[in-house]
C-alpha cells in the first residue's frame, strides 16, 4: 500500500446541487496534498466523505486500505479532522476538551491526560489551558481544534481551511505546527483558498472546481502548465484596455487577463510574444507605458484554471 488515500470516481449531490462530480485522487503515504479550489468547489464535501461524516452517492474512497463507507468503524481511530469551523466545546476548558476526546478514543484516563498535557504545551496553550474555550481567540481555537484532531496520533490527517480567518502571525504558528507533523511522517490532506499556503505546505497541489479535479502537480508544474511565462502590457489610457485586448487576443490560447490598465498574456515563449505584442499595439496605435516578461504567479494559474467564461474548464 503506497497510497494512504485512494479516491475513485467519487460523486455526491445535495438535491440538485452536484458537489462532487467524479473525483479521483491519490495521496502517497507520508505526503502532503493541498486541495485548492474556489468557494463551493466541493472541498469540504470531499473532506467530510473521507472522514466518514458523509456517505458518497457513488464511487469509493479508501484510506489506509479501509473503505470510508463500509469500514468507518475501523477507520475512525486512524484519522484526524480539523474541520472548517473549529468544533470545540465552548463551555469546557482546553484541557477538558482534549481529555474528553482522548476518553472517547478509549484511551485510559491516565494516557488521555498525558496526551492532553503534551498537546497543550505543543500548541502553546499552557496559559489558557484551564479557561473555558468561550473566551479564546480565533487562533487559539484553531490550535485547540488541531490539537484535538491529534489526540490519537492519527497517521492520516485532514485539515479543512486550517488558517482561514487567522492573522499572519497565527498563520505562521499553525504552519510551523503542521510542518512538524509532516516531519513526523503524518499523511496530510489540507484544503485552502490560499495558493501561498498550498505552495508552502504541500508536496502536490490538486485544483478542484465545480466538483472535479481540473489540474494537479507541484506549484511549479502548474505554472508550467498554464504557460511558462507572462507578458504584462500597461496601456497609457485606461479606455484603451478593451481595444488592446482584442488586438492581443490572437497571440495566445487564453484571452488576456486584465487588471486596471495592465493586460497579462500567458505564453510559452515570453520574448517572442512580447515582440509580437509590441508590433500589434504599434500598428493599432495604442500607447503603451510598460512592457515586461515574467513568471506567472500562482494566483494567475489558479484564476486561469478556474475561469468559467467558457463552458470547458481551461486546459
Contact 1, 64 (CB under 8 A): yes
Go through 295-308 and write b for each residue having 16 or more CB atoms within 10 A of its CB, e for each that does not.
Answer: ebebebbbbbbbee
Q: Does 42 bind ligand ATP (CB under 6 A)?
A: yes
Q: How far apart (Å, rounded) are the C-alpha atoms in residues 82 and 46?
A: 14
Q: Does 39 bind ligand ATP (CB under 6 A)?
A: yes
Determine the number of helices (DSSP H) and then strands (DSSP E) in the chain. Answer: 11, 14
Q: Which does 286 bind (CB under 5 to 8 A by kind): ligand ATP, another protein, Mg ion, none?
A: none
Candidate residues 7, 19, 36, 75; the one interacting with ligand ATP per rule CB under 6 A: 19
**Three-class secondary structure assignment of 120-161:** HHHCCCCCCCCCEHHHCCHHHHHHHHHHHHCCCCCCEEEEEC
Candidate residues 20, 33, 44, 229; the one interacting with Mg ion per rule CB under 5 A: 44
Q: How far apart (Å, rounded) are the C-alpha atoms in residues 231 and 266?
A: 7
Candidate residues 36, 41, 202, 235; the one interacting with ligand ATP per rule CB under 6 A: 41
Q: Which does 19 bind (CB under 5 to 8 A by kind): ligand ATP, Mg ion, another protein, none?
A: ligand ATP
Nearer to another protein, 134 or 253 (CB): 134
- Identify the residue whose cell numbers are 490598465: 261
Segment holding 294, helix H or strand E: strand 288-294
Nearer to another protein, 75 or 226 (CB): 75
* 293 CB burial (10 A radius; 0-12, 13-18, 19+): middle
* 225 CB burial (10 A radius; 0-12, 13-18, 19+): middle
Stretch that binds Mg ion, among 39-47, 92-100, 167-175, 278-286 (CB under 5 A): 39-47
Nearer to ligand ATP, 197 or 254 (CB): 197
Candidate residues 36, 43, 75, 204; the one interacting with ligand ATP per rule CB under 6 A: 43
Rounded to a whole number of angstroms, the minimum distance from the CB of residue 286 to ligand ATP is 39
Q: Which residues pair with 25 in a beta bridge?
A: 7
Nearer to ligand ATP, 53 or 111 (CB): 53
Q: Does 44 bind ligand ATP (CB under 6 A)?
A: yes
Candidate residues 37, 56, 162, 227; the one interacting with ligand ATP per rule CB under 6 A: 37
Q: Does 49 bind ligand ATP (CB under 6 A)?
A: no
Q: Does 17 bind ligand ATP (CB under 6 A)?
A: yes
- E strand spans, 31-174: 32-36, 58-63, 66-67, 79-82, 156-160
Q: How far apart (Å, rounded) are the C-alpha atoms in residues 202 and 168?
A: 18
Stretch that binds Mg ion, among 5-13, 77-85, 242-250, 256-264 (CB under 5 A): 77-85
Nearer to Mg ion, 43 or 99 (CB): 43
Nearer to ligand ATP, 21 or 117 (CB): 21
Nearer to ligand ATP, 43 or 115 (CB): 43
> And the C-alpha cell for 227?
504557460
Binding site for ligand ATP (CB under 6 A): 14, 17, 19, 37, 39-45, 84, 193
Amino acid at each position: 500500500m503506497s497510497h494512504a488515500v485512494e479516491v475513485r470516481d467519487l460523486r455526491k449531490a445535495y438535491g440538485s446541487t452536484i458537489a462532487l462530480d467524479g473525483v479521483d485522487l491519490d495521496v502517497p503515504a507520508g505526503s502532503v496534498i493541498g486541495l485548492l479550489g474556489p468557494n463551493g468547489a466541493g472541498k469540504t464535501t470531499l473532506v467530510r466523505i473521507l472522514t466518514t461524516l458523509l456517505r458518497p452517492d457513488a464511487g469509493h474512497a479508501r484510506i489506509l486500505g479501509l473503505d470510508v463507507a463500509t469500514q468507518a468503524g475501523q477507520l475512525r481511530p486512524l484519522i484526524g479532522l480539523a474541520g472548517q469551523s473549529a468544533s470545540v466545546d465552548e463551555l469546557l476548558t482546553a484541557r477538558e476538551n482534549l481529555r474528553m476526546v482522548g476518553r472517547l478514543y478509549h484511551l485510559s484516563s491516565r494516557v488521555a491526560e498525558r496526551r492532553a498535557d503534551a498537546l497543550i504545551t505543543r500548541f502553546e496553550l499552557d496559559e489558557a489551558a484551564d479557561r473555558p474555550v468561550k473566551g479564546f481567540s480565533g487562533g487559539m481555537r484553531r490550535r485547540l481544534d488541531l490539537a484535538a484532531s491529534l489526540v490519537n496520533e492519527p497517521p492520516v490527517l485532514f485539515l479543512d481551511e486550517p488558517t482561514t480567518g487567522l492573522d499572519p502571525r497565527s498563520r505562521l504558528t499553525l504552519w510551523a505546527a503542521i510542518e512538524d507533523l509532516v516531519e513526523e511522517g503524518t499523511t496530510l490532506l489540507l484544503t485552502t483558498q490560499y495558493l501561498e499556503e498550498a505552495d508552502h505546505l504541500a508536496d502536490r497541489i490538486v485544483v478542484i472546481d465545480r466538483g472535479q479535479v481540473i489540474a494537479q502537480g507541484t506549484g511549479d508544474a502548474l505554472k508550467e502548465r498554464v504557460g511558462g511565462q507572462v507578458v504584462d502590457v500597461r496601456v497609457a489610457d485606461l479606455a484603451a484596455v478593451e481595444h488592446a485586448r482584442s488586438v492581443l487576443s490572437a497571440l495566445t490560447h487564453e484571452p488576456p487577463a486584465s487588471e486596471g490598465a495592465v493586460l497579462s498574456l500567458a505564453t510559452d515563449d515570453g520574448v517572442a510574444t512580447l515582440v509580437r505584442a509590441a508590433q500589434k499595439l504599434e500598428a493599432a496605435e495604442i500607447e503603451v507605458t510598460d512592457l515586461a516578461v515574467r513568471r506567472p504567479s500562482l494566483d494567475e494559474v489558479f484564476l486561469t484554471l478556474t475561469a468559467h467564461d467558457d463552458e470547458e474548464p481551461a486546459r
